[in-house]
């Protein structure tokens, strides 16, 4: 199963030789994929509402923030890994497994961590 949510944030890439060294912002899309056994009683792997709540609790820390205050050198790869760690800690309490986190930094650029 999967779910995609978005958040807005600013960042800069220290030491980078280019425009991204300056503060700029993105609307990020975060796509999460889970797998695991389907519960016999409910028929769900996980209720979408519960996954959305977990994702929002992780993304809330990042939304409308300067990501440099949260992560050193906040590249897309590091942001995706940060989200993955936050979700793994929440998903551990369920029967699901986190397969991947895909972070879209704009319309056609993304990274994925598994």
pLDDT for position 40: 94
Q: Residues 26-80: pLDDT tens digits?
A: 999 999 999 999 999 999 999 999 999 999 999 999 999 999 999 999 999 999 9
Q: Is residue 111 domain-resident?
A: no
Question: Is 64 a residue of the active site?
Answer: yes
Q: Is residue 108 part of a domain?
A: no
User: Which residue among the candidates 24, 60, 61, 64 is catalytic per the annotation?
Assistant: 64
Residue 93 belongs to a domain: yes
Domain count, the chain: 1
Q: Is residue 86 part of a domain?
A: yes
* CA–CA dist 57, 87 (Å, integer): 9
Residue 54 within a domain: yes
- In a 3-state reduction of DSSP, which class is residue 114? coil
80 with 88: CB under 8 angstroms?
no
Whether 20 is a known active-site residue: answer yes
d(CA 85, CA 83): 6
Catalytic, 31? Answer no
CATH code, domain with 10? 3.30.479.10
Parent domain of 90: 2-102
Question: Among 20, 24, 60, 61, which one carries the catalytic annotation?
Answer: 20
């Amino acid at each position: 199963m999967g779910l995609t949510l978005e958040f807005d944030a600013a960042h800069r890439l220290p030491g980078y030789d280019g425009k991204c060294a300056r503060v700029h912002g993105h609307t990020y899309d975060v796509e999460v994929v889970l797998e695991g056994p389907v519960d016999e009683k409910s028929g769900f792997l996980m209720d979408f509402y519960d996954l959305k709540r977990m994702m929002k609790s992780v993304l809330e820390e990042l939304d409308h923030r300067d990501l440099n205050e949260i992560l050193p050198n906040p590249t897309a790869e590091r942001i995706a890994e940060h989200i993955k760690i936050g979700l793994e800690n929440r998903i551990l309490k369920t029967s699901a497994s986190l397969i991947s986190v895909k972070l879209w930094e704009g319309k056609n650029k993304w990274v994925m961590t598994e």
